[in-house]
């Protein structure tokens, strides 16, 4: 009888010790900083317990339509300060090799990143979302998929050998959506990956670090405050134009620089962008100086005009000193 009492008492004491330890560890866990790069944790999905995410109508606060017919067939408005939540991400491929960057390429604009993958490699959704487009484009993306996400982004996955999702299907971050391939306008197997906001491309490298298999921060802020029409055109107020022209004027050395308000901000970037880490903000260059090539120009004269080296000019535009430039080509100069 005494032995049974002692055994029961010891059991209660052990349970109490475990409970105290668990409470203490929970407290420590709450105080410890989060680290996405822990080797044992490949992906962390954060659940918003305050307002459940509506995956049937993702980002309904900025999009006013749902159109499966084309990539730029979007309508809506970006608030003046819009934070794209990058938490809960999943890298679309474990490949770390970027074979072609965002920006000018072969005399035209490359609106995404090319990531080296092999035919049959699994391609996965970058975030939770709803599949908007599943199509084939022989002269461009080949077999491609577009997904709209609750954070406002739409991600595009091109040149796949096979699509394994359907339009209007709900997907979770990390779900397989297709297989790597070499379809469409492609010279080798790779994944063409784009990030868009209301149809406008943003350099994926600003948000996704493929070399380190991580995102660049918890949030990515876009300062826009403009309306996007269904055809992808931008409707801006006079105040918006004047503000952007004033910013651009600070960087214009002569009349040959393409006005950011009329060209680069509208066609290339959504506006000033900020990568935000928890407890730390890193601002990227908001004002870009660009130059439209004229007759008689070469890389040396353009570099000298803007006070940079030819090597830097080539790095900014993902070209080489041997690249032939032609009249009308727009080059980044800062």
Q: What is the pLDDT of residues 221-270, one digit of tens each?
A: 887 655 454 444 333 333 333 333 333 333 333 222 222 322 333 333 44
pLDDT, mean over the chain: 74
pTM comes to 0.57
- The pLDDT value recorded for residue 258 is 28
Residue 159 in tokens: 């040149």
If you write DSSP's letter for every residue of 67-135 in order, what string do you get? --S-TT---EE--SSEEEE-TT---S-S---EEE-SEEETTEEE-SEEEE--TT-EEE-SSSEEEEEEE
- For residue 19, is pLDDT > 50? no
- For residue 158, is pLDDT > 80? yes
At residue 210's C-alpha, the angle toward residues 207 and 216, to 5°, is 30
> What is the domain partition of the chain in residue ranges?
41-286, 289-334
Q: Which burial class, exposed, middle or buried, applies to 193 when counting CB atoms under 10 A from its CB (0-12, 13-18, 19+)? A: buried
Residue 273 in tokens: 């962008």
User: What mean pLDDT comes out for the span 111-128?
Assistant: 96
- Contact criterion met (CB below 8 Å) for 197 and 154: yes
Q: In this prediction, what percent of the chain has a pLDDT beyond 70?
A: 65
pLDDT tens, residue by residue, 190-209: 999 999 999 999 999 999 99
- The pLDDT value recorded for residue 237 is 32
- CA 280 vs. chain centroid, Å, equals 19
- The pLDDT value recorded for residue 37 is 43
- Contact criterion met (CB below 8 Å) for 285 and 334: yes
- Contact criterion met (CB below 8 Å) for 157 and 123: yes
- The pLDDT value recorded for residue 257 is 29
- Contact criterion met (CB below 8 Å) for 220 and 83: yes
- The pLDDT value recorded for residue 312 is 86
- For residue 83, is pLDDT > 70? yes
- The pLDDT value recorded for residue 283 is 40
CA distances from 211 to 8, 99, 179, 321 (A): 56, 12, 21, 26
- For residue 105, is pLDDT > 70? yes
- C-alpha–C-alpha distance, residues 99 and 95, integer Å: 11
Give every CB contact of residue 276 below 8 A, 6+ residues apart in sequence.
Answer: 83, 217, 218, 219, 220, 221, 282
- C-alpha–C-alpha distance, residues 247 and 156, integer Å: 31
Residue 256 in tokens: 């040959």
Residue 137 in tokens: 């484009």
- For residue 115, is pLDDT > 80? yes
- Contact criterion met (CB below 8 Å) for 111 and 124: no
Higher pLDDT, 251 or 290: 290
Q: Which CATH class is domain 41-286?
A: mainly beta
Residue 127 in tokens: 């975030």
Please state which of the ranges 36-40, 213-217, 218-222, 246-250 shows the lowest mean pLDDT: 246-250
- The pLDDT value recorded for residue 332 is 85
Q: 182: helix, coil or strand?
A: coil
Q: Which burial class, exposed, middle or buried, applies to 90 when counting CB atoms under 10 A from its CB (0-12, 13-18, 19+)? A: middle
- For residue 78, is pLDDT > 60? yes
User: What mean pLDDT comes out for the span 93-97?
Assistant: 96
User: What mean pLDDT comes out for the span 175-190?
Assistant: 94
- CA 169 vs. chain centroid, Å, equals 21
Please state which of the ranges 113-122, 129-138, 158-167, 286-295 shows the lowest mean pLDDT: 286-295
User: What mean pLDDT comes out for the span 157-161?
Assistant: 97
- C-alpha–C-alpha distance, residues 267 and 228, integer Å: 12
Higher pLDDT, 12 or 97: 97
Q: Which CATH class is domain 289-334?
A: alpha beta
Please state which of the ranges 48-52, 75-79, 91-95, 285-289 shows the lowest mean pLDDT: 48-52
């Amino acid at each position: 009888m005494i032995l049974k009492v002692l055994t029961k008492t010891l059991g209660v004491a052990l349970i109490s010790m475990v409970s105290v330890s668990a409470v203490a560890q929970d407290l420590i866990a709450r105080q410890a900083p989060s680290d996405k790069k822990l080797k044992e944790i490949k992906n962390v999905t954060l659940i918003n317990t305050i307002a459940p995410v509506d995956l049937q109508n993702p980002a309904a606060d900025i999009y006013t339509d749902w159109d499966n017919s084309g990539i730029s067939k979007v309508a809506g408005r970006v608030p003046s300060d819009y934070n794209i939540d990058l938490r809960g991400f999943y890298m679309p491929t474990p490949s770390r090799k970027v074979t072609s960057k965002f920006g000018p390429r072969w005399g035209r604009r490359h609106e995404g990143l090319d990531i080296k993958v092999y035919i049959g490699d699994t391609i996965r959704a970058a975030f939770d979302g709803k599949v908007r487009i599943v199509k084939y484009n022989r002269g461009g993306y080949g077999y491609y998929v577009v997904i709209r996400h609750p954070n406002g982004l739409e991600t595009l996955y091109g040149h796949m050998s096979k699509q394994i999702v359907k339009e209007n299907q709900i997907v979770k971050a990390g779900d397989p959506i297709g297989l790597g391939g070499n379809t469409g306008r492609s010279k080798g197997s790779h994944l063409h990956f784009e990030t868009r906001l209301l149809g406008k491309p943003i350099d994926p490298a600003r948000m996704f670090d493929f070399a380190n298999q991580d995102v660049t921060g918890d949030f990515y802020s876009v300062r826009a405050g403009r309306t996007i029409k269904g055809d992808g055109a931008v409707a801006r107020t006079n105040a918006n134009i004047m503000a952007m022209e004033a910013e651009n004027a600070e960087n214009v050395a002569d009349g040959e620089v393409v006005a950011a308000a009329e060209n680069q901000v509208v066609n290339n970037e959504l506006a000033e962008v900020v990568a935000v880490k928890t407890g730390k903000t890193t601002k990227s260059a908001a004002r870009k100086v660009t130059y439209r090539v004229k007759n008689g120009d070469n890389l040396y004269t353009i570099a000298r005009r803007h006070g940079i080296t030819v090597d830097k000019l080539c790095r900014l535009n993902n070209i080489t000193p041997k690249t032939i430039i032609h009249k009308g080509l727009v080059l980044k100069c800062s």
